[in-house]
Amino acid sequence: MSEGANHSAVKDTQTGNISVPVVNNTVLNGLQIDFASRTYNQRAWWQLWGSGDQYVEVPNSNQTSMSNLLYTTLNN
């Protein structure tokens, strides 16, 4: 998934959107799905305690297109 990308842009070369691996580290129909991912916690400015919400993203995914990310992970 990539917030801000429309469906036709996903298959094109649109960049600038951070991607999130919905399915990761698994095998589907013989294809290894293994995106690099980064997990981090972020607390809102108004939260005085707690660790905040947990987020997962594909590092540097805003530098490439979503179709290239898919191609790269399926060919490794």
Q: What is the pLDDT of residue 40?
A: 92
Instruction: Flag whether the pTM goes above 0.75.
Output: no
Pair of tokens at residue 72:
């790269």
Give the span between the Cα atoms of 55 and 8, in whole angstroms.
25
Per-residue model confidence as pLDDT tens for the chain (76 residues): 566 666 666 667 778 878 888 888 888 888 888 888 999 999 999 988 888 899 999 998 888 888 888 888 877 6
Q: What is the pLDDT of residue 73?
A: 82
Give the span between the Cα atoms of 71 and 38, in whole angstroms.
19
In the chain, what are the domain boundaries?
7-74
